[in-house]
Copies of this chain bind each other. A is one copy, B any other.
């Protein structure tokens, strides 16, 4: 038996023994997702147990080195773990910006001390992170950010304001872009720093969205002190890290997994006549959409395979982000049409408090957050097609 085969058998057995039954069905909504953090309220004993057991093996972040709380798995082992988890429909034990974003950045740009300090807490779900990038006058144009960090010897004094900080009101620490040199041109003079959201001078204010939800905050820094040891990479060179992370984020947003096919929803709602959707115009629109959606799904597959084969994703991730988010907006416009006036309820049990309409409105942010569609198209035009500025 090969090592990998043995790993598979052991993994299967361990999961069988350790994954609670209630964790063996897909998350039904926001409430089923474990974000971790100091103030996280577990939805159930099982949810807590599942996190602890997986974290004990480093399997919340399977490919991170063991010394930083990871599982130290090889790519092949990680693939097997994924397969085995899917086999029993096991939920992800932990979801966080620490895992997706800060972790990869620290692994690449952090010092050994920084990794030792922060990564294990991410892996165990003890600290929940948020991202401080956008500012009121620097939305798509991150390079013109104004939040100031003054060098005060062993700490930086931070003043300024961030906006669109996802879940800042629930986060414990922030990774933040700040301007450390105001005389420099836009992209230089920016640094990447970490600090505790409980520091004096930090305050957050949730932003109510048109969907009625408040996943984002305005975040204010008023003479906040950030220890110098938490500056990641070189001072004034934070832009390099930010760019690296944006690429990660883009790939994540473009790749939204496989939702229920639109046509299945339509079949349920509208029924078939002679094997075809009763509404022929909607059938046509859904077919057009699904042709794009299936082709896009294969594009993600191709991009991943290309990356595995050592290809450089580069600005291709901008294409995935742009195309995926536009598709998702289109999908939700069609879901509205499939559901007719029922989709337009906003309150009441029948419609689960307007879930269809609120989800539809939520998608409008897809092509704004994480770099607008316009910014992605600019990047494609300039970096891939090499069109002149």
Does A44 reach chain B (CB closer than 8 Å)?
no
What is the chain B residue whose CB lies nearest that of A282?
B284
A281 at the interface (CB under 8 A from B): yes
Q: How many residues of A contact B (CB 8 A)?
A: 4
Q: Does A349 contact B (CB under 8 A)?
A: no
Q: Which residues of A (265-284) have their CB < 8 Å from a CB of B?
A: 280-281, 283-284
* Cα A280 to Cα B283 with chains together (Å): 10
Q: How far is the CA of A262 from the CA of B281 in the complex (A)?
A: 18
In the complex, what residue of chain B is closest to A288 when comparing beta carbons?
B281
What distance in Å separates the Cβ of A247 from its nearest Cβ neighbour in chain B?
32
- How far is the CB of A163 from the nearest CB of chain B, in Å? 25
Shortest distance in angstroms between A91's beta carbon and chain B's nearest beta carbon? 41
Report Cα–Cα, A283/B281, bound state, in Å.
9
Quote the shortest CB–CB distance from A290 to chain B (angstroms): 14
Residues of B within 8 A of A281 (CB): 284
Bound: A135/B371 CA distance, A: 41
Set of chain B residues within 8 Å of A283, measured between Cβ atoms: 280
In the complex, the chain B residue whose C-beta lies closest to that of A287 is B281
How distant is the Cα of A281 from the Cα of B277 in the complex, in angstroms?
13
A284 cross-chain contacts in B, Cβ below 8 A: 280-281, 284
Q: How far is the CA of A280 from the CA of B277 in the complex (A)?
A: 12
Q: Mark A282-316, 1 if CB is under 8 A from B, else 0.
A: 01100000000000000000000000000000000
Tell me how far the C-beta of A8 lies from the nearest C-beta in chain B, rounded to whole angstroms.
47
Query: Bound complex: CA of A284 vs CA of B287, how far in Å?
Result: 13
Taken together as a complex, chains A and B put the C-alpha atoms of A92 and B332 apart, in Å, by 53
Q: A281 vs B283: C-alpha distance in the bound complex, in angstroms?
A: 9
A200 and B2 alpha carbons, distance in the complex (Å): 91
CA distance A280 to B274 in the complex (A): 14
Which residue from chain B places its CB closest to the CB of A280 in the assembled complex?
B280
Can you pick out 5 interface pairs between chain A and chain B where the beta carbons lie within 8 Å of each other?
A: A280-B280, A280-B283, A280-B284, A281-B284, A284-B284
**Which are the 5 A-B pairs with shortest beta-carbon distances?**
A280-B280, A281-B284, A284-B284, A280-B284, A280-B283
